[in-house]
């Protein structure tokens, strides 16, 4: 008899015995004037209490709902196994190479599943609540190696590797401050919507839906049309699809098979509790992630992994200001935040109004809205006076304006290239310091901020997991991220003789402004 079945039987018998004992005790204590005892729910010291669903009204602390269940699995893996529905394909010969690879890569499972611990419970909850196969919780293993900062040369980003157009199609916000594709909550919701759409589009065939998730429904539809015309079957295994897609679906099936029976494949899965890892926290104002980590007594790197959607390491000026925190840090964070003055929540820089300044131009340069500037400075209208000091919402990675060594006023005949050459800086640096589009012409008398020669612009980098695509080369990847080939080789312990393979994972350290 399986262990989980015996556990269920024992739980049911215990409940029945408890009910019988409770009935005896109630019979002993019943009297005409007896007052019914109030049921008190207590939290077990060894497990976190079940979390409540977020309120529609913004509050400081919310969390997602944990459905009540008689049988609660000890770890997340057994819960995933119980929700698998694609086992009929686990012995298909088409997945044999992938099964063999995963079965011989314990270190890969250690590394990837270690990252997955932060997100797995939440993703399983969302899939299970919609009645979807729990194999899909393993899809980010294939897509991103469970790294929210993973980025590809096709501009796909995040755990679920959305390209910009598909992300926009499924409601993922993306601007200078925030990229919903990297947000574990927003991206998971979008991925589930997309997978549900594809499942229905392809007549409830999960393999075709997964293939379309990788290469687009148009490619799958055309491949099916070609097969129908040739009198061939139109199942996944019979279609002529891109090489990456033909390996992509077997990869998910292979990972799922290993998770189902790890011992048979000589793989040890790390223990991951079947319990929430993080709380979803709503904050009423802009908050710097470094400050949040300090208040929560938490490592900054862990906080950034949970809140990868914020490109400037600070919540969006216009909100919402939701952040994710490990569940055992939320209480201390709450106490610390409530005792911290709001003006200390995020860095605020100042702009001193000069002749010719307008509120709209200042807002544009600082990537905020006019309404946000009005609100921050309690302005009743857009009129400014020379010398007036305006508070600009903190960006988390901006260098304060006082840090610039000097200004330069654009003259007749100037170009970005000429100014950069004369001041011994690169065009990219000059454009970045002034939030300029390199392709747009400069305006006469426009004021630019410059660093002196040899003075470095402070930058913040993020570790990115990049999945090599077909046709990639070190040169192409270096160009894409404005990196040197030597750095890429050094970070990955490679040399120039190494040949890149599709699906290979590279570690890159990329300026956050370039992601």
Q: How long a stretch of residues is the chain?
A: 515
Q: Are 316 and 286 in contact (CB under 8 A)?
A: yes
- State how far the Cα of 178 lies from the Cα of 312, in Å rounded to an integer: 7
- State how far the Cα of 238 lies from the Cα of 228, in Å rounded to an integer: 11
Helix or strand holding residue 509 (H, E): strand 505-511
At 351, phi and psi to the nearest 5?
-125, 125
Q: Are 101 and 261 in contact (CB under 8 A)?
A: no
CB count in 10 Å sphere of residue 295 = 22
Which of 306, 305, 348, 300 shows the shortest CA–CA distance to 323?
Answer: 306
- In three-state secondary structure terms, 238 is helix
Which sequence positions are flagged as catalytic?
143
CA atoms within 13 A on the CB side of 396: 25
Q: What is the CA radius of gyration of the chain?
A: 28
- State how far the Cα of 149 lies from the Cα of 161, in Å rounded to an integer: 10
- In Å, what is the CA distance from 447 to each residue of 14, 388, 423, 443? 77, 18, 15, 9
CA atoms within 13 A on the CB side of 492: 25
At 149, phi and psi to the nearest 5?
-95, 5
Strands (E), 298-446: 323-326, 349-352, 389-392, 406-409
Helix or strand holding residue 510 (H, E): strand 505-511
Peptide bond into 320 cis (omega under 30): yes
For residue 455, the Cα-to-chain-centroid distance in whole angstroms is 34
- In Å, what is the CA distance from 77 to each residue of 9, 49, 339? 21, 21, 40
CB count in 10 Å sphere of residue 360 = 12
Handedness of CA 196, 198, 204, 205 (dihedral sign): negative
């Amino acid at each position: 008899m399986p262990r989980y079945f015996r556990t269920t039987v024992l739980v049911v018998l215990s409940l029945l015995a408890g009910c019988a004992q409770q009935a005896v005790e109630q019979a002993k204590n019943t009297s005409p004037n007896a007052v019914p005892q109030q049921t008190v729910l207590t939290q077990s010291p060894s497990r976190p209490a079940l979390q409540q669903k977020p309120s529609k009204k913004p509050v400081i602390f919310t969390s997602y709902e944990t459905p009540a269940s008689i049988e609660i699995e000890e770890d997340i893996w057994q819960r995933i196994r119980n929700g698998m529905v694609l086992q009929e394909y686990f012995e298909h010969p088409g997945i044999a190479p992938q099964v063999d690879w995963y079965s011989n890569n314990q270190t890969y499972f250690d590394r990837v599943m270690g990252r997955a611990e932060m997100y797995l419970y939440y993703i399983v909850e969302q899939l299970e609540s919609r009645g979807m196969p729990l194999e899909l919780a393993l899809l980010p293993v294939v897509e991103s190696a469970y790294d929210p900062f993973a980025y590809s040369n096709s501009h796909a980003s995040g755990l679920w590797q959305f390209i910009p157009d598909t992300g926009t199609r499924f409601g993922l916000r993306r601007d200078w401050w925030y990229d919903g594709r990297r947000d574990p909550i927003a991206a998971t919701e979008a991925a589930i919507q997309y997978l549900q759409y594809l499942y229905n589009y392809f007549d409830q065939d999960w393999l075709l839906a997964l293939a379309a998730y990788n290469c687009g429904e148009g490619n799958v539809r055309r491949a099916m049309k070609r097969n129908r015309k040739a009198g061939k079957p139109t199942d996944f295994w019979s279609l002529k699809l891109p090489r990456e897609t033909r390996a992509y679906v077997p990869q998910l099936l292979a990972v799922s098979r290993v998770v189902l029976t790890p011992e048979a494949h000589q793989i040890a899965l790390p223990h991951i509790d079947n319990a929430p890892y993080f709380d979803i926290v709503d904050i009423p104002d802009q908050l710097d992630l470094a400050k949040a980590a300090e208040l929560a007594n938490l490592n900054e790197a862990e906080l950034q992994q949970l809140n990868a959607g914020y490109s400037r390491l600070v919540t969006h000026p216009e909100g919402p200001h939701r952040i994710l925190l490990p569940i055992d840090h939320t209480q201390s964070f709450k106490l610390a935040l409530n005792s911290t003055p709001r003006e200390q929540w995020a860095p605020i820089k100042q702009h001193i109004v000069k002749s010719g300044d307008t509120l709209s131009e200042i807002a544009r340069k600082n990537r905020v809205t006019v309404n946000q500037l009005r609100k921050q400075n309690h302005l009743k209208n857009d009129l400014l006076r020379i010398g007036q000091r305006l508070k600009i919402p903190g960006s988390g990675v901006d260098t304060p304006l006082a840090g610039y060594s000097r200004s330069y006023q654009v003259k007749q005949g100037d170009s970005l290239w000429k100014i950069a050459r004369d001041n011994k800086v690169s065009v990219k640096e000059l454009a970045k310091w002034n939030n300029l589009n390199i392709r747009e012409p400069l305006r006469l008398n426009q004021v630019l901020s410059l660093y002196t020669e040899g003075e470095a612009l402070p930058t913040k980098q993020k570790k990115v997991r990049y999945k090599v695509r077909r046709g990639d080369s070190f040169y192409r990847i270096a160009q894409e991220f404005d990196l040197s080939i030597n750095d890429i080789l050094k970070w990955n312990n490679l040399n120039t003789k190494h040949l890149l393979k599709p699906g290979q994972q590279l570690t890159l350290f990329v300026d956050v402004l370039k992601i």
